[in-house]
């Protein structure tokens, strides 16, 4: 492997694009109603308790200028936008409509490339090594072509990162938004990485940042140079290796056309406070059934079950349990979720009426076709 440049098809240096639709839910709303374009648009997840309770899902750039970002409360967004003379609009999330748009946009991109991997409702990677002849000038033209085609067919803008690997392409697509193309060619990889902030590396959130600071690491450059053994002591082998490779711009994962979301999840807002675990049972059971239906449709099994609780003060607590073996049992899923809830209440000294939203997620998924089902399930059932 050349430095930071995996080889595709044995000889061809890789060129990857990461395509991310801009302010996606809010942009879909602008497309549906172009009159909104000049106003701050805030897409909200309403909890249904009172007219203002809930959180911001996303917002357009007119709203972002006032500090309205994903995750803040609707009340805070309203107070920030009270300074705006542009007549802000607050809309509820319409996921079915955004999903439709996402499908149309992704199909357009897919039809223009050899290898395509969707990784979220509004983002995908494509391998353009062959189409560009591994030439970064040509890659920029391809990215430009994709932007134009998407805009003319859907009215949506996107931002595109082009780089020798997925990691750098992802960072690059996020560096300038909206409607931007950022190309990082192989010779520029190290300079580009050094210009990034630690939190621009995917996977480095506030918690990891703080832990990195305890090791004296405040920049990508310092992360790239720290002794790997020290990093491993704090983060373990897998994460430490990822972090140091990332800081050096190294990632050799290919664009995977068979990728499916690695998680299945669902989250609901409680219409009423719950006061005892009995009240939580119907909500948890319905969440379990929802994710289980998707699991079965995908012909998959799970190993890890996570429970996420979002509290009245918008604080989030979560816990998960990983099984020794894969399972496709609904009973087991329901049992684990109940145990997790009881444990979390005890560990975090929560009272049930603090809970506003509940979510569950299944991860470490595997396809049925890839395993010896009889052995797996037999072993699984003997463990219960």
Q: How far is the CB of 258 from Ca ion (least distance, A)?
A: 23
Choice between 119 and 352, CB closer to ligand TTP? 119
Q: What is the DSSP letter of 179?
A: S
Q: How far is the CB of 21 from ligand TTP (least distance, A)?
A: 6
Q: Which residues pair with 338 in a beta bridge?
A: none
Catalytic residue of the set 29, 30, 117, 123: 123
Q: Judged by CB under 5 A, which of 15, 16, 19, 20 binds Ca ion?
A: 20
Find the length of the chain.
Answer: 384
- Other residues' Cβ atoms within 10 Å of the Cβ of residue 177: 16
Q: Are 159 and 180 in contact (CB under 8 A)?
A: yes
Distance (Å, whole) CA 114 – CA 154: 21
Rule CB under 6 A: which residues touch ligand TTP? 20-25, 57-58, 70-71, 121-122, 177-178
User: What does 57 bind: ligand TTP, Ca ion, none (CB cut-off 5 to 8 Å by kind)?
Assistant: ligand TTP
Q: How far is the CB of 22 from ligand TTP (least distance, A)?
A: 4
Q: How far is the CB of 359 from ligand TTP (least distance, A)?
A: 12
Choice between 70 and 286, CB closer to ligand TTP? 70
Site map 109..148 versus Ca ion, x via CB under 5 A: -------------x--------------------------
Q: Are 150 and 156 in contact (CB under 8 A)?
A: yes
Q: How far is the CB of 351 from Ca ion (least distance, A)?
A: 37
* 24 in contact with Ca ion (CB under 5 A): yes
Choice between 103 and 375, CB closer to Ca ion? 103
245 φ, ψ to 5°? -60, -45
Paired tokens of 242? 């990822």
Site map 52..91 versus Ca ion, x via CB under 5 A: ----------------------------------------
Q: What is the DSSP letter of 199?
A: G
Choice between 119 and 215, CB closer to Ca ion? 119
Choice between 121 and 325, CB closer to ligand TTP? 121
Place of tokens 């607050």: 90
Residue of 239, 225, 143, 237 lying closest to 190 (CA atoms): 225
Distance (Å, whole) CA 218 – CA 162: 26
- Other residues' Cβ atoms within 10 Å of the Cβ of residue 93: 16
Q: 123 an active-site residue?
A: yes
Residue of 269, 270, 307 lying closest to 288 (CA atoms): 307
Interface with Ca ion by CB under 5 A: which residues?
20, 24, 122
Catalytic residue IDs = 123
């Amino acid at each position: 492997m050349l430095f930071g440049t995996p080889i595709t098809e044995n000889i061809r240096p890789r060129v990857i694009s990461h395509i991310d639709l801009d302010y996606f839910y809010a942009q879909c709303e602008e497309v549906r109603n172009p009159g909104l374009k000049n106003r701050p648009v805030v897409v909200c997840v309403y909890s249904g308790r009172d007219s203002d309770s809930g959180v911001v899902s996303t917002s357009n750039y007119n709203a972002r200028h006032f500090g309205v970002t994903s995750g803040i409360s609707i009340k805070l967004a309203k107070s920030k936008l009270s300074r705006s003379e542009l007549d802000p609009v607050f809309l509820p999330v319409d996921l079915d409509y955004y999903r439709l748009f996402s499908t149309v946009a992704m199909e357009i991109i897919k039809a223009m490339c050899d290898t395509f991997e969707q990784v979220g409702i509004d983002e995908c990677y494509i391998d353009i090594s062959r189409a560009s002849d591994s030439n970064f000038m040509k890659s920029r033209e391809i990215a430009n072509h994709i932007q134009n085609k998407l805009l003319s067919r859907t009215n949506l803008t996107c931002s595109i990162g082009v780089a020798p690997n997925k990691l750098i392409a992802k960072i690059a697509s996020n560096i300038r938004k909206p409607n931007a193309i950022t190309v990082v060619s192989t010779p520029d990889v190290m300079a580009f990485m050094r210009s990034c902030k630690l939190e621009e590396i995917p996977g480095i959130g506030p918690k990891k940042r703080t832990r990195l600071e305890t090791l004296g690491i405040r920049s990508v450059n310092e992360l790239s140079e720290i002794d790997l053994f020290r990093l491993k002591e704090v983060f373990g082998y897998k994460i430490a290796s990822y972090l140091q490779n990332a800081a050096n711009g190294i990632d050799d994962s290919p664009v995977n056309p068979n990728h499916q979301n690695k998680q299945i999840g669902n989250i609901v807002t409680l219409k009423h406070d719950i006061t005892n675990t009995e009240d939580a049972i119907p909500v948890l059971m319905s969440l379990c059934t929802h994710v289980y239906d998707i699991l079965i449709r995908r012909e998959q099994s799970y190993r890890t079950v996570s429970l996420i609780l979002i509290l009245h003060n918008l604080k989030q607590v979560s816990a998960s349990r990983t099984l020794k073996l894969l399972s496709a049992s609904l009973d087991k899923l329901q049992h684990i979720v109940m145990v997790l809830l009881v444990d979390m209440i005890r560990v975090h000294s929560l009272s049930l009426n603090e809970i506003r939203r509940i979510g569950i997620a299944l991860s470490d998924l595997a396809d049925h076709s890839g395993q010896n089902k009889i052995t797996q399930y037999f072993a699984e059932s003997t463990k219960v």
